[in-house]
């Protein structure tokens, strides 16, 4: 038997990531869970932001953002950036995070985070409580400790996923490789 739960619950994992927005001097950090890859080619990411967030005006002005992907050890930074507003504090300073120049956009990357994805907004959709920003990926940075020769080694990085209002870490054991069932 299945039990029906509240339809707002949608019990499926989402990434928990910290997005940087705004130019170097005014840049802010916000934690988002409504984040996904939505198109293969060109690579396009989707993020959703409530207009009430301080970050909203920054993305509206510049039309660029960086998805900074944390390791599981950075869970406190994730929670901090999702529970305080940049209207009142400088989250970079409070958390002693370092701004690193991006390659293709004006928004800085978080140096201490293992993966950074630079995006340029190509479309905005206003839907219900959130504004959805579709961003074309302009560059992807990965700390060298997670690279094996030239490829990302996913077994070296445990990320954070948001599920049922809790942070979980991804297990680095590979269950199977894509396409294994064809053999």
Ligand X SMILES: Cc1cc2nc3c(=O)[nH]c(=O)nc-3n(C[C@H](O)[C@H](O)[C@H](O)COP(=O)(O)O)c2cc1C
Residue 30 or 102: which CB sits closer to ligand X? 30
The residue number whose beta carbon is nearest to ligand X equals 82
Residue 17 or 102: which CB sits closer to ligand X? 17
Question: C-alpha distances in angstroms, 18 versus 6, 32, 55, 66, 111?
Answer: 27, 6, 11, 8, 12
Stretch that binds ligand X, among 30-38, 69-77, 103-111, 147-155 (CB under 6 A): 30-38
Beta bridge partners of 142: 115
Least distance CB 132 / ligand X (angstroms): 10
Q: Are 91 and 68 in contact (CB under 8 A)?
A: no
**Interaction residues for ligand X, span 47-66 (CB under 6 A):** 48-50, 53-55
Least distance CB 171 / ligand X (angstroms): 19
Q: Establish if 84 lies at the interface with ligand X (CB under 6 A).
A: yes
Q: Establish if 43 lies at the interface with ligand X (CB under 6 A).
A: no
Find the angle CA(103)-CA(150)-CA(108) to the nearest 5 degrees. 20
Distance of CA 150 to the CA centre of its chain: 23
**Interaction residues for ligand X, span 103-162 (CB under 6 A):** 162
3-state secondary structure of 106: coil
Least distance CB 161 / ligand X (angstroms): 10
Question: C-alpha distances in angstroms, 167 versus 5, 14, 33, 49, 85?
Answer: 20, 10, 11, 19, 20
Applying CB under 6 A, which residues contact ligand X?
16, 28, 30-34, 48-50, 53-55, 79, 82-87, 162
């Amino acid at each position: 038997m299945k039990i029906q739960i509240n339809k707002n619950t949608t019990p499926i994992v989402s990434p928990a990531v910290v997005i940087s927005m705004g130019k170097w001097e005014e840049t802010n950090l916000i934690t988002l869970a409504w984040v996904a890859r939505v198109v293969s080619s060109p690579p396009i990411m989707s993020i959703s932001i409530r207009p009430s967030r301080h970050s909203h005006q920054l993305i509206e002005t510049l039309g660029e953002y960086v998805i900074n992907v944390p390791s599981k050890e950075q869970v406190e930074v994730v929670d901090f950036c999702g529970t305080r507003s940049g209207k009142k504090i400088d989250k970079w300073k409070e958390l002693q995070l370092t701004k690193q120049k991006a390659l293709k956009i004006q928004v800085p990357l978080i140096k201490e985070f293992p993966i950074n994805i630079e995006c340029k907004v190509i479309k905005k959709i206003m839907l219900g409580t959130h504004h959805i920003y579709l961003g074309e990926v302009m560059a992807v940075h990965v700390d060298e400790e997670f690279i094996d020769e030239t490829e990302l080694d996913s077994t070296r990085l445990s990320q954070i996923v948001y599920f049922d209002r809790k942070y979980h870490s991804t297990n680095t054991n590979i269950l199977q490789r894509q396409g294994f069932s064809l053999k």
